[in-house]
Structure 1
Amino acid sequence: MSSVQEVFSSFNDYLTTDQDIREEIRNSVRILEQTAREIMTLLQAIHQREGLKQVPTICQKSKEKFESVKAAYADLAGKFPLQHYYRFHDHWRFVTQRLIFLAALTTYIESDTLITREETAKLFGIEVEKGSGFILDLEDYLHGVLLLSNELSRLAVNSVTSGDYERPLKISSFLGEINTGFRLLNLKNDSLRKKFDSLKYDIKKVEEVVYDISIRGLMPERKIIKKELT
């Protein structure tokens, strides 16, 4: 029978190993956070007066930065046994959600479409199916998509300032589709539900922008359709 000291010695070995793994993970996550800041800095150019005219260049530079993201996730995946993914998931959850948002923003301003979970995973160099390796968690993807709405509501306002009166209408339609999609989901995650609630306020803000440019006669041929946000 093991002595008390032997039992606690084994616990200490376990905790030391666990702490070492977590420190290695934190080092990789810092690289992801730095890259996310760099991508965000690039994308902020769309809010400048001439920024929307530079969208192809901005998107190209953004996608080049995602090569560093792919390398960082590959490095991160080698820091721990992948069967323990959810044991360490909190370390990279928030930066992953932010990177999903940045990928979604890049795709939207380039093509007016929503990046899929599969396309995002491919961009990151990771998987979507559990058990196949380092995965892109579904809830993380949904969080990232919801982060997009606030940035697009800001873009709608700045587009008007730049003289682009068509873009707010496109953004309004796009966010309406996102809203409809989320209403199909049975959201039990409290943080997701709270973020989904904020989507409704962003939609309302964009609709106000669209309404304003409409009554000013800047888009007289367009009819504004209010969406019910109950």
Structure 2
Amino acid sequence: MKAVFRNAYGSFSHSLNPRASDLTTVLSPAFAIILTRPLRSPAPHFSAATSPRRRSAAFCSAPMASGDPSAPALEKQFEAFRVQLEESGSLKDRIRAVAMDIDSAARLMHSCLLLVHQSRPLPEVLDKAKAQIGLIKDHYSRLAEILHECSGQYYRYHGDWRSETQTVVSLLALMHWLETGNLLMHDETGEKLGCMWYMC
């Protein structure tokens, strides 16, 4: 009886889908129905030559393509977002330029302080290194002016100059210790670096 049912089912499924694999006759009827059932709406086929623009147009939703009234409002939101991104990028570029100037001055200061290991007179070494402090103070003043343009967003951009500031403070602490034999205090660092330091 099972063989008769299997043969009848096989010929019936073959009449529905002549290209069905012979494996469907081996599987149970439930799986065979799933495998032999034709797709009602085949997925769109794109050749390799189809442009990405046409592909994206094919998948656009009908309301947006037909001129949905919310489309202009959405475009305005993205336009405002694009303007914010450009302003933020410009601000970051300016901050990074100042940070590079600070880093350059810190490297010069560091190279001057390396002369301590060559038994040079200490006042001579410190005078050369101190010549960079005024320049670094000017750079921090420029940085403070830039940050006043984006008040309330100090920590958003803080990472762009934090490493350079740590280097400068380490060098100032070393200079202060070589000169006085004492540790450099926070207030003293603020006096050396100027108006930018109150933010750090």
Give the TM-score category using the shorter length.
0.5 to 0.7
Measured in 2, the distance between the counterparts of 1:82 and 1:115 equals 29
The Cα RMSD (Å) is 1.5
**1-structure distance, mates of 2:97, 2:76:** 32
Partner of 2:195: 126
Aligned length: 128
Counterpart of 2:96 (choices 13, 26, 33) is 26
Give the superposition deviation at 1:4: 1.1
Contact 2:137–2:194 at 8 Å: present in 1 too?
yes
Gaps of 5+ in 2: 1-69
Which residue of structure 2 aligns with residue 86 of structure 1? 155
Q: TM-score, normalised by structure 1?
A: 0.53
How far apart are the structure 2 equivalents of 1:11 and 1:78? Answer: 25
In the alignment, the residues of structure 2 paired with residue 88 and residue 26 of structure 1 have an alpha-carbon distance, to the nearest angstrom, of 10
Is residue 108–residue 115 contact of structure 1 (8 Å, CA) maintained in 2?
yes
CA distance in 2, matches of 1:82, 1:69: 22
Alignment of 1:98-177 (within 5 A): 98-126=167-195, 129=198, 135-136=199-200
The amino acid that maps onto 1:42 is C
Runs of at least 4 residues of structure 1 off by over 6 A? none
8 Å CA contact 1:100–1:120 kept in 2: the answer is yes
SS in 2 for 1:5: helix
Percent of aligned pairs with the same amino acid: 26
Is 2:127 the partner of 1:60?
yes
Q: Does 1:14 align with 2:14?
A: no
Distance in structure 2 (CA, Å) of the matches to 1:6 and 1:109 = 59
Is the aligned partner of 1:3 residue 2:3? no
Matched AA of 2:166: Q
Counterpart pick for 1:97 among 154, 161, 166: 166
Q: 1:37 to 1:96 in 2, by over 3 A?
A: same
Structure 1: state its 5+ residue gaps.
130-134, 137-230
Shift of 1:59: 1.3
Residue pair 2:144, 2:195 contacting (<8 A) in 1 also: no
Q: Is the 8 A contact 1:118 1:128 kept in 2?
A: no
Task: Give the drift of 1:126.
Answer: 2.8
* Aligned-residue offset at 1:85: 1.4
SS class of match (1:125): helix
1:57 Cα deviation after fit: 1.6
Please give the alpha-carbon distance, in whole angstroms, between the structure 2 residues aligned to 1:114 and 1:30: 27
